[in-house]
Amino acid sequence: MNKKKLLALSLFIFILIITILSMLYLMTESSTGRIIILILLVIITVLGAGDAIWHVISPERSLSQKLQRFSSSLTQEPIDVLKERYLELYNLYLKLSAKQKRIFYAEINRIREKIDEQLQAEKNIERLLEESSSGNISQQQKKYEEIKSSLQKLSLETRRKYQSQLAYLQERLESGK
């Protein structure tokens, strides 16, 4: 049974028990019986509220929501921000049970691989930019093309960081120096 159905079923049972106890309270004439039913009502209400709050603030739910938001920002945020947010996600992931970890493992791993890919692309761009002035024009052109292909793997913020250097390199190649 999936979580939504289980949550709906438990909510239905909770409301049913509260309704039955409330009706018993109204129908019971003895004060001892009313007190017992009232105590049961309070206990069940507190337990139900506690369970509902746990579902809202549980690490699993929190991780699920953060993963959805994080996936959309992978191509927009700078790499430093991505690394910080990934560490937050991973710390939430570590709080999960083994069963829950299996559910989120693939998504956490995919995000880590994307960040690794961006880090490697950025290192590659920096290396190629340092080497861009060495070699003949065809070698420099080849390095320029490699830089452009590596830039496609980076987030928009990180691409902007290299725009001026790339424009300078392109200008130098066009002038033939």
Within this chain, do residues 39 and 73 fall inside the same structural domain, yes or no? no
Confidence of residue 109 (pLDDT cuts 50, 70, 90): very high
Both 37 and 80 in one domain: the answer is no
Residue with the larger pLDDT of the pair 134 and 102: 102
- Do 11 and 45 fall within a single domain? yes
Instruction: State how far the Cα of 87 lies from the Cα of 80, in Å rounded to an integer.
Output: 11
Total structural domains within the chain:
2
Please report which confidence band the pLDDT of residue 105 belongs to, taking 50, 70 and 90 as the band edges. Answer: very high
Calculate the CA dihedral of residues 102, 104, 110, 114 and round it to 10 degrees.
-140
* Phi, psi (rounded to 5 degrees) for 136: -80, 180
Per-residue confidence (pLDDT) for residue 112, from 0 to 100: 92
Q: What is the pLDDT of residues 45-92, one digit of tens each?
A: 898 888 777 766 777 778 888 888 887 777 778 888 888 989 988 988
Q: Which residues of 55-72 are buried (b: 16+ CB within 10 A; e: fewer)?
A: eeeeebeebeeebeebee
From the list 2, 107, 109, 3, the residue with the least C-alpha distance to 56 is 3
> For residue 116, what pLDDT is reported?
92
Q: Is pLDDT above 60 for 1?
A: no
- 77 and 162 together in one domain: yes
The pLDDT of residue 3: 66
49 lies in the same domain as 72: no
Residues 41, 13 within the same domain: yes
